[in-house]
Chain A
Amino acid sequence: MKLIRDIWRLYYDGFRSMTLGRTLWTVILVKLFIIFVVLKLFFFPNYIKEHAGKGEEADFVSSQLLNR
C-alpha cells in the first residue's frame, strides 16, 4: 500500500512541480489530438476495410495484385 502511495506521490508531485514540462505536455496532447482524431479519423481510413467486405480481404488483395 505504501508503495502505491509513493508511486502516486511521485507522479502527483512531479506533474504539479513541472515548469517546462507543462509546455511539453501541451504540445504532446495537441499533437496526439491532431494525429488520432483529425488525421486518423478524417484522412487515414483503412483502405482494405473500406473496400473489402468482412472476411473477403484476401480476395480483394488478390484482385488488386493480379489485375495490375
Chain B
Amino acid sequence: MTHLLDINLAAVDWARAQFALTAIYHWLFVPLTLGLAVVMGIMETQFYRTGQDFWKQSAKFWQRLFGINFAMGVATGLILEFEFGTNWSNYSYLVGDVFGAPLAIEGIVAFFMESTFVAVMFFGWNKVSRGFHLASTWLTGLGATISAWWILVANSWMQHPVGQAFNPDTMRNEMTSFADVALSPVAVDKFVHTVLSAWVLGAVFVVGVSSWYLLKQRHLEFARKSLRTGAIFGLVSSALIMLSGHHSAYTVAQTQPMKLAAMEALYKGGTDQPLTIIAGINPFSQPDFEATDEPPMKLAVPYALSFLATNDVNGYVPGIRDILDGYTKADGTAEPSLEEKIARGRTAINAMAEYRRLKGSVKSDGNEPSLLALQTTIRENMPYFGYGYVKDRSQVVPFIPVCFYAFRVMVGGGCLFVLLFALVLFFLCKKDITQARWLLWGAFCCIPVAYIVSEAGWLVAEFGRQPWTIQDMLPTWVGVSQLGASTVMVTFFLFLALFTTLLAVEINIMCKAIKKGPEL
C-alpha cells in the first residue's frame, strides 16, 4: 500500500512537491488580501456616511495591514507559471491555448485595476474627494477578486476540462468556447467558495487582532467596533459558505466522483449514504479500499452524504470500487469501468501516433479519409486519453487519508469559526467582552487556525484530483518534463528559503504595525 512519505527520487515527485510548496505559500498571502479588502471597504463606507475621523483612522489601519500583505504576496503566483514552463512543459503546451486568455486577462486586470486604485487608496487621502477615494478602495478589492476569478477559471478547467477541442496537428487543446471555460459550473463554484473562504479568513484575522487589543487594554473603542464589524462579516460569510459548500460538493459529485469518494473514504457506495464525521484511518497509509467496505470506527450522519452529493437523501453515491468497476449514473447513463477507460485511452494514444506518422509521411491537406477517420477516433476517445497511461487500479485513486482528514479540518474549522463569530457578537451585545479573556485568547489563537483551514480546502481540491494534471486527460507522470530530479530538488529548496524568508519578513512587519496600532 502507498505511504504518505513514499516520495521516490523521480522528478515528477519533486515537481509535485515544489508546485505544492509554492501554491501553499502563495495562498498564505492571497486570502487575507481578499478578506481585508472588504473590511477596509466597510470601514471607509462608515467614514463616508458619518464623516467621523474614527472610521477614517480605522479604515487606514486595516488598509496598512492590507498593504503589507499585498506587497509581500504580489508576484508570488508568477513562480507557478515559471514552473509550468520548466517542470510541466507537456502539460503547459497542451493547455497553452486554453489558459492564454484567462491568464492574460488576469494579468491586465491585476496590473491596471490594482496598481491604479491601490495608489489612490494609499496616496489619495485629502487629495481626491471622499467618494472617489471610497470607490478606489472598493475597486482595489474588486480588482483583486476579479483577478482571483481568472486564476480559478484556469484551475477549474484542469479539474473539469470544457470548452476545448484537441487538435492533433498542433498537439494543443484549443478553446472552442470562452464562455464555457469562464462560466463552467466548477469555475463558478470554486470562485464563490474560495472567495467566501478568504472573507472568513479576513474576518477571523480582524476579530483576532481586535481581541489582542482588548487583551492589552489598548484602543478599546476601535477594537470593539472592529470586533463587531469582523464578527458580523464573518458570520454572513460563513452562512454563505455553507450554501456554496453544499453546491460545491454536488458539483464535485457530478464531475469528480473519485474525489468525493476519497474525501469520504467511501470504498463501496450505494443509496442512502451517511456522511462520515470521523473514522479510524491511518493518516500515513493508503487504506485497503479493495478488501474492506468501510473504514473502522466510522461515526456518521445518516443520509447526509446522499443529500450533499445528489440533493436527495436517498440518492446513489458511487464508492471508489464502483467508480473503478463502472456504475450507472442517476440520469441512467453508464459510467465506464477503469478497464474500458484504459482501452479507450490506449485507442486515442495509438490513433494519435498513427495520425502523426501518416501526417509526417505524406504530403496532404489533412483531408484524406484515413486521416479524417483517425481524427474522429482521437476526438471520440480524447476524454479518456490519460487512462491510456494507467497500469493498475491503485494509480487512479487519490491518497485517501489526506483527502479525508483535510476535508474534516476544512469543515470542522468552518464550524469553529461560526461559533467564534456568534460568541463574539453575543458577548459584545449582552456581556462585557473584556471580561471574557478566554474568548479573546481563543479568537487570537484562531488566526493561524484560519490559515490551516484555508490551506486544507486546497489540499482537498488538489490531492483529490490526483493523479490528473488535467482530469482524465493527462496524468502527472506524463505532464512532467523529462528533467533530472536533482534540478527540481535544487529549486524546491531555493523556493523554500525564499518563501520562508518572505513569510518571516511579513510576520515581522505585520506584528510591528499591529503593535503600533491605529492612529486614534
Task: Please give me the residue from chain B that is nearest to A49 by CB atom.
Answer: B85
Task: Please give me the residue from chain B that is nearest to A48 by CB atom.
Answer: B89
Instruction: Please judge, given known A-B contacts A31-B75, A39-B82, A58-B171, whether A21 and B122 are in contact too, CB under 8 Å.
Output: yes
Are the CB atoms of B75 and A47 closer together than 8 Å?
A: no
Among the 9-residue stretches B63-71, B330-338, B412-420, the one with 4 or more Cβ atoms under 8 Å from chain A is B63-71
Task: Please give me the residue from chain B that is nearest to A34 by CB atom.
Answer: B498
B120 CB–A CB distance under 8 Å: yes
Tell me which residues from 23 to 68 in chain A have a Cβ below 8 Å from any Cβ of chain B. Answer: 23-25, 27-28, 31-32, 34-35, 39-40, 43-48, 57-59, 61-62, 64-66, 68
Are the CB atoms of B64 and A10 closer together than 8 Å?
A: no
B interface SS class: helix
A20 CB–B CB distance under 8 Å: yes
Residues of A within 8 A of B178 (CB): none
Are the CB atoms of B119 and A14 closer together than 8 Å?
A: yes
Residues of B within 8 A of A39 (CB): 79, 82, 491, 494
Instruction: Please judge, given known A-B contacts A14-B123, A46-B86, A65-B90, whether A58 and B170 are in contact too, CB under 8 Å.
Output: yes
Residues of A within 8 A of B93 (CB): 48, 57, 61
Distance in angstroms from B371 CB to nearest chain A CB is 15
Q: How far is the CA of A34 from the CA of B124 in the complex (A)?
A: 31
Are the CB atoms of B123 and A13 closer together than 8 Å?
A: yes
A interface SS class: helix
Q: How far is the CA of A43 from the CA of B486 in the complex (A)?
A: 12
Residues of B within 8 A of A57 (CB): 93, 171
Among the 9-residue stretches B33-41, B232-240, B349-357, B436-444, the one with 4 or more Cβ atoms under 8 Å from chain A is B349-357
Bitwise interface map of B from 56 to 97 toward A, beta carbon under 8 Å scored 1, else 0: 000000001001100110111011001101110110111000
Distance in angstroms from B467 CB to nearest chain A CB is 13
Are the CB atoms of B171 and A31 closer together than 8 Å?
A: no
Are the CB atoms of A61 and B483 closer together than 8 Å?
A: no
B478 CB–A CB distance under 8 Å: yes
Q: How far is the CA of A68 from the CA of B509 in the complex (A)?
A: 49
Residues of B within 8 A of A9 (CB): 127
Residues of B within 8 A of A45 (CB): 85-86
Bitwise interface map of B from 383 to 425 toward A, beta carbon under 8 Å scored 1, else 0: 0000001000000000000000000000000000000000000
Are the CB atoms of B171 and A62 closer together than 8 Å?
A: yes
Instruction: Please judge, given known A-B contacts A11-B119, A46-B85, A47-B85, whether A58 and B509 are in contact too, CB under 8 Å.
Output: no
Q: How large is the interface on A (under 10, 10 to 19, 20 to 34, 35 or more residues)?
A: 20 to 34
Q: How far is the CA of A35 from the CA of B83 in the complex (A)?
A: 12
Bitwise interface map of B from 490 to 514 toward A, beta carbon under 8 Å scored 1, else 0: 1100100010001001000100010
Residues of A within 8 A of B85 (CB): 44-48
Are the CB atoms of A68 and B389 closer together than 8 Å?
A: yes
Contact residue among B353, B494, B509 (Cβ-Cβ distance under 8 Å from A43): B494
Distance in angstroms from B450 CB to nearest chain A CB is 23
Q: How far is the CA of A59 from the CA of B498 in the complex (A)?
A: 36
Q: How far is the CA of A34 from the CA of B513 in the complex (A)?
A: 26
Residues of B within 8 A of A66 (CB): 349, 352-353, 356
Distance in angstroms from B115 CB to nearest chain A CB is 11
Q: How far is the CA of A25 from the CA of B71 in the complex (A)?
A: 7
Distance in angstroms from B30 CB to nearest chain A CB is 15
Are the CB atoms of B502 and A31 closer together than 8 Å?
A: yes
Instruction: Please judge, given known A-B contacts A10-B124, A31-B75, A48-B93, whether A21 and B67 are in contact too, CB under 8 Å.
Output: yes
Instruction: Please judge, given known A-B contacts A45-B86, A65-B90, whether A20 and B352 are in contact too, CB under 8 Å.
Output: no
Task: Please give me the residue from chain A that is nearest to B88 by CB atom.
Answer: A47
Q: How far is the CA of A25 from the CA of B356 in the complex (A)?
A: 51
Contact residue among A23, A35, A61 (Cβ-Cβ distance under 8 Å from B171): A61
Are the CB atoms of A35 and B122 closer together than 8 Å?
A: no
Task: Please give me the residue from chain A that is nearest to B356 by CB atom.
Answer: A62
Are the CB atoms of B353 and A14 closer together than 8 Å?
A: no
Q: How far is the CA of A51 from the CA of B494 in the complex (A)?
A: 24
Residues of A within 8 A of B325 (CB): none
Distance in angstroms from B124 CB to nearest chain A CB is 6
Bitwise interface map of B from 343 to 377 toward A, beta carbon under 8 Å scored 1, else 0: 00000010011001000100000000000000000
Spell out B's residues near A (CB within 8 Å). 64, 67-68, 71-72, 74-76, 78-79, 82-83, 85-87, 89-90, 92-94, 119-120, 122-124, 127-128, 169-172, 349, 352-353, 356, 360, 389, 477-478, 481-483, 490-491, 494, 498, 502, 505, 509, 513
* Given A10-B124, A21-B122, 18 new contacts (CB under 8 A): A11-B123, A23-B509, A24-B68, A32-B75, A34-B498, A39-B82, A39-B494, A40-B82, A43-B490, A48-B93, A57-B171, A61-B93, A64-B90, A65-B90, A65-B478, A66-B349, A66-B352, A66-B353
Spell out A's residues near B (CB within 8 Å). 9-11, 13-15, 20-21, 23-25, 27-28, 31-32, 34-35, 39-40, 43-48, 57-59, 61-62, 64-66, 68
- 19 residue pairs of the A-B complex, CB under 8 angstroms, read A14-B124, A20-B64, A24-B72, A25-B71, A27-B505, A28-B74, A28-B75, A31-B75, A35-B82, A45-B85, A46-B85, A46-B86, A47-B89, A47-B483, A48-B93, A58-B171, A61-B94, A61-B171, A65-B349
5 nearest interchain CB pairs?
A14-B123, A47-B89, A24-B71, A44-B82, A58-B171
